[in-house]
Chain A
Amino acid sequence: MTGPPRHVVARPRTRLGEVHDQTPLGDLYLRSLLREQFGLAARTLAAVALALGTLPLLFLLAPDLAEREIAGIGLAWILLGGVAYPFLLLLGWRYVRRVERNERVFVDLVLSGRGERQDPEDEG
């Protein structure tokens, strides 16, 4: 059983107010949004680094790869001259879908009325 709230807030506060006014709860919201968005960005960049960034090393370690041809065109030319662009576009498109979903979740959370307000002393 929970007791009645110890603080009576005179003016109704939205969670947005908390985000703006540096309360510990608002801090928590922002931290989690930042972490979420940065994680998404980092994962997207990691995919680029893994798919494209490893190519020079790969071709240096396995020079035979350069001799491979598909329909008379060298493998490196196919990968970097053609496949790379739809790949980058796909990553960008997926990123925008996910980042907008994260933002919707954040907006819903913040606007879902006054939550149980925590005591400022509880968190640091």
Chain B
Amino acid sequence: MSGAQVSALAVVLVSLVTLGIGTWGLRFSRTTSDFFVASRTVRPRLNASAIGGEYLSAASFLGIAGLLLVGGAEMLWYPVGWTAGYLVLLVLVAAPLRRSGAYTLPDFAEVRLGSRGVRAACSLLVVAVGWLYLLPQFEGAGLTLAAAIGAPQWVGPLVVGAVVLANVSSGGMRSITFVQAFQYWLKLTAILLPAVVLVIVWWGDGHPSPGTAVPGGWSSPVADGGGIGLYTTYSLIMALFLGTMGLPHVVVRFYTNPDGRAARRTTVVVLALLGLFYLWPPVYAGLGRVYGDRLVAEGRSNVLVLELPRVMMDGLPGELLTALVTAGAFAAFLSTSSGLAIAVSGVITQDVTGRLVGERRRGGVTAFRLAAVVAVAVPLLAALALENVGIARSVGLAFAVAASTFCPLLVLGIWWRGLTTPGALAGLAAGGAGAGGAAVLAIAGVEGSGWSGALLDQPAAWSVPLAFATMAVVSRLTADRAPAHARRFLVRLHTPESLELDLS
């Protein structure tokens, strides 16, 4: 059996197991509540594995190692930022968000401000951020299948799209929880085991040092270019640290916790699981410096994780390890895309198709399935039509948009009773237009140079403060329009559950 066949088999296996667990989970999915939030009964450890599985995307599994190989230590901010984002989420948002009792971000906005307008704006943003994040997942799937089995670029997106659609529309959130939890452990194994084997091989080779072709600044955690480099690095840090809380698929997971306390504990386990995973991509980058000169020269550093086993080991062992990392990469696309598809279809169901089909219980599930088709098809077509934007780049832009819109809305909505509807709308518009505009220009292929390029490429450092300031100032100016129930709502967000129990 050739190497390509082993890898193809691995991809088929991952897809089948994913579908299998999804169908098994279907036995537990009975109601619309199961579909959206697994009826809020998921325990911290299972939920944390599911969050980890969902969160570790194509960018984490494939993108980072390649970026580290080419860009050096400054790219370490990606994995650190993706982990630190959960700490920020933990301290500012986790428990109150869960206690708000809302299903999705638009739900939160609506109950907090009592405004249909803010709800509509949030729904639009959830769909926009979700699609912006789905695009690189499909792109990565195309790259992976092309590298592993030599398939044309369009095969990967279609396979991922089909499996995700089948899974999401059959079992909803409940079955996806099991799938995601399984996929975290699969991904950890798929990145850890080959890394350990390859380090042993490297040691057996007489642990050679990296070649002379060491890129400049490989050991500095700040981008080149003095002031511009410093701006770029800090802007990236800001987008990643603050963007996590605004990602639709991350937020929707918090509603599946039984209560606010469980939401916090889940987040701490997530911090541990992510840290455990992110220790490994740098190992691939380090080995890539020794063995991967050809990949860099050919501009294929983005498939470093997939190619390294083959480059370092001949014959069957190399092919088996390649099959394992291919399976892990595929799990990454499937799980992140599923999570995003669930979140986006949840919003589309509530705001669009739910109205069309009707609010009945069975109608709710039909509406959800209809929405899932839309949620997957649009970014799939975009991925097939557009040139590659670069996995890490478009993921970075999705974080920038989330950090400039949902982060201020959540933080001010949870901690400041002075937030008003006009303030929230103005802030969302300012942040969304700023970061979203930069993202649209990037996808359209516009590239500036010098400061203008840096400001467009990494908008977070100006768009996040702009959104916060706009939201606060306009809220102050319209203070008489603060919702009457704001104080009562804050009480609910910050009151421990043990009190609620005593009350009722």
Would you call A50 an interface residue if the criterion is a C-beta within 8 Å of the partner chain's C-beta atoms? no
Contact of A59 with B222 at beta-carbon distance under 8 Å, contacts A91-B87, A111-B499 already known: yes
| Contact in complex: B237, A53 (CB < 8 Å) | yes
A95: min CB distance to chain B, Å: 6
Would you call B275 an interface residue if the criterion is a C-beta within 8 Å of the partner chain's C-beta atoms? yes
| Contact in complex: A20, B488 (CB < 8 Å) | yes
| Contact in complex: B279, A82 (CB < 8 Å) | yes
Would you call A12 an interface residue if the criterion is a C-beta within 8 Å of the partner chain's C-beta atoms? no
B319: min CB distance to chain A, Å: 29
- Closest residue of chain B to A72 (Cβ to Cβ) is B209
One of B159-167, B445-453, B489-497 at the interface:
B489-497
User: Interface size class for chain B?
Assistant: 35 or more
In the assembled complex, the Cα of A45 lies from the Cα of B83 at a distance in Å of 13
B195: min CB distance to chain A, Å: 13
In the assembled complex, the Cα of A33 lies from the Cα of B487 at a distance in Å of 13
| Contact in complex: B491, A74 (CB < 8 Å) | no
Q: In the complex, which residues 258-276 of chain B have their Cβ closer than 8 Å to any Cβ of chain A?
A: 261, 264-265, 267-268, 271-272, 274-276
Would you call A81 an interface residue if the criterion is a C-beta within 8 Å of the partner chain's C-beta atoms? yes
Q: Which residues of B contact A34 (CB under 8 A)?
A: 415, 490, 494
| Contact in complex: A76, B415 (CB < 8 Å) | no
A91-102: CB near B (< 8 Å → 1, else 0) gives 111011001100
| Contact in complex: B84, A16 (CB < 8 Å) | no
Q: In the complex, which residues 9-31 of chain A have their Cβ closer than 8 Å to any Cβ of chain B?
A: 16, 19-20, 22, 27, 30
Would you call A86 an interface residue if the criterion is a C-beta within 8 Å of the partner chain's C-beta atoms? yes
In the assembled complex, the Cα of A52 lies from the Cα of B87 at a distance in Å of 13
| Contact in complex: A95, B487 (CB < 8 Å) | no
Q: Which residues of B contact A41 (CB under 8 A)?
A: 91-92
Would you call B221 an interface residue if the criterion is a C-beta within 8 Å of the partner chain's C-beta atoms? yes
List 20 other contacts, CB 8 Å, given A60-B230, A89-B272: A16-B503, A19-B491, A30-B494, A37-B494, A44-B91, A52-B84, A53-B237, A57-B230, A60-B222, A66-B220, A76-B219, A77-B73, A80-B77, A80-B221, A84-B275, A85-B275, A85-B278, A88-B275, A89-B271, A100-B264
List the interface of chain B (C-beta within 8 A of A).
73, 76-77, 80, 83-84, 86-88, 90-92, 95, 217-222, 226, 229-230, 233-234, 237, 241, 261, 264-265, 267-268, 271-272, 274-276, 278-279, 282, 415, 487-488, 490-491, 494-496, 498-499, 502-503
List the interface of chain A (C-beta within 8 A of B).
16, 19-20, 22, 27, 30, 33-34, 37-38, 40-41, 44-45, 48, 52-53, 55-57, 59-60, 63, 66-67, 74-77, 79-82, 84-86, 88-89, 91-93, 95-96, 99-100, 103-104, 106-107, 110-111
